[in-house]
Amino acid sequence: MYTLIDYFNRIAHYEWWIVLVELLAIGLVIWWVVDFLEGTRGERLFRGVIFLLVSGVLVLNLVVERLPFDRLQYLYRGFLIAVLIVAVAAFQPEIRRVLIQIGQPRIWAGSSHQLSRTIEELVTAVTELSAARIGAIIVLERQVALGEFIETGVRLDARVTSDLLKTIFYPGTPLHDMGVVIRGDRIVAASVQLPLAEVGSVPGVELGSRHRAAVGITAGSDAMCLVVSEETGAISIAHDGKLIRNVTESQVRSHLAGGATAGHVPFMGRLLKRHVE
């Protein structure tokens, strides 16, 4: 079996800068994966898999120097194959998001006036809903179509305005429950049933049904979600299965416009590109 000693003996003959570049490349990939999975269940799973792999390699390579445990080596190679198969299934939502991001166009071709107007209407709506402590969940569709969820709600196809959004979510109205889906500058449906994330999907935080729905819909698509808590009036933003809580009006505007500050998830302006069904 190939041991750590063999590895170090081999790299001793390489140019130092080649080894440095390779180590930096590996480190950057691992950092990007951890950063991408940060705040999700996938992060803990990834750390667990890495721990098992590294521990197994170190233990087997240290032991094999003294005792030839051939059967343990054979079982470990089989274990690596099993881990690969399980990882593909376990990381399915994360793999899907990566492929979605890779395939997304990077240039927004919509109107800047349309973008600005729609953003202001959304900011006004969530700010006033927050002040009145009226619960709301607004899903902003991007490149991944949400047709399967839209079909569960009531079709509207209406221009995005703060007054209409406040009316929809006002308690007692027929459409106030569940979510609203926005495509471009149009409200395409209201009273949309959204998938709920599992309990404990956000470590250390107990989420209500609206916040679980926001995490659930954004974990399986590239959508962004605005949530207003009925209990506290706090505004939250969900994206890539991650939840940013207690954001301010200016932070909401910054996320929607794509000019996010450090520590926040940027929301690309291409969101508001008008889609034609």
| Structural domain of 70 | 4-90
Q: Comparing C-alpha atoms, which of 72, 273, 53, 90 is closest to residue 184? A: 273
Q: According to the model, what pLDDT value does residue 262 have?
A: 32
Q: According to the model, what pLDDT value does residue 241 have?
A: 85
Which structure tokens are listed for 52? 């098992």
CA 139 to chain centre: 14
Asked if residue 57 and residue 10 are part of one domain, the reply reads yes
Q: According to the model, what pLDDT value does residue 158 have?
A: 92
Q: Comparing C-alpha atoms, which of 163, 164, 114 is closest to residue 271? A: 114
For residue 244, the domain's CATH number is 3.40.1700.10
Asked if residue 245 and residue 118 are part of one domain, the reply reads yes
Backbone angles phi, psi at 144, to 5 degrees: -85, 120
| Number of structural domains in the chain | 2
CA 193 to chain centre: 19
Tell me how far apart the alpha carbons of residues 138 and 225 are, in angstroms, rounded to a whole number.
6
Asked if residue 118 and residue 86 are part of one domain, the reply reads no
Asked if residue 259 and residue 123 are part of one domain, the reply reads yes
Determine, yes or no, domain membership for 95. no
Backbone angles phi, psi at 231, to 5 degrees: -75, -45
Calculated CA dihedral for residues 220, 212, 140, 157, nearest 10 degrees: 110
Mark which of 39, 58, 90 sits at the end of a domain.
Answer: 90
Q: According to the model, what pLDDT value does residue 203 have?
A: 56
Report the half-sphere exposure of 99 (CA within 13 A, side-chain side): 8
Tell me how far apart the alpha carbons of residues 125 and 110 are, in angstroms, rounded to a whole number.
22
Asked if residue 44 and residue 130 are part of one domain, the reply reads no
Tens digit of pLDDT per residue, the chain (277 long)? 455 566 666 766 777 788 788 889 988 887 887 776 665 556 667 777 778 777 777 776 666 555 666 776 677 777 777 877 877 777 776 676 666 656 554 433 445 667 788 999 999 999 999 999 999 999 999 877 788 889 899 999 899 999 999 999 999 899 988 999 998 889 999 999 998 887 666 655 678 889 999 999 998 888 999 999 999 999 999 988 889 999 999 999 988 887 333 333 334 344 444 433 3
Asked if residue 227 and residue 181 are part of one domain, the reply reads yes
Backbone angles phi, psi at 58, to 5 degrees: -65, -45
Asked if residue 216 and residue 140 are part of one domain, the reply reads yes
Question: Do 233 and 133 form a contact (C-beta atoms < 8 A)?
Answer: yes
Question: Do 51 and 57 form a contact (C-beta atoms < 8 A)?
Answer: no
Mark which of 57, 90, 123 sits at the end of a domain.
Answer: 90
Asked if residue 267 and residue 173 are part of one domain, the reply reads yes
Asked if residue 154 and residue 46 are part of one domain, the reply reads no
Determine, yes or no, domain membership for 11. yes
Asked if residue 135 and residue 53 are part of one domain, the reply reads no
Tell me how far apart the alpha carbons of residues 216 and 178 are, in angstroms, rounded to a whole number.
13
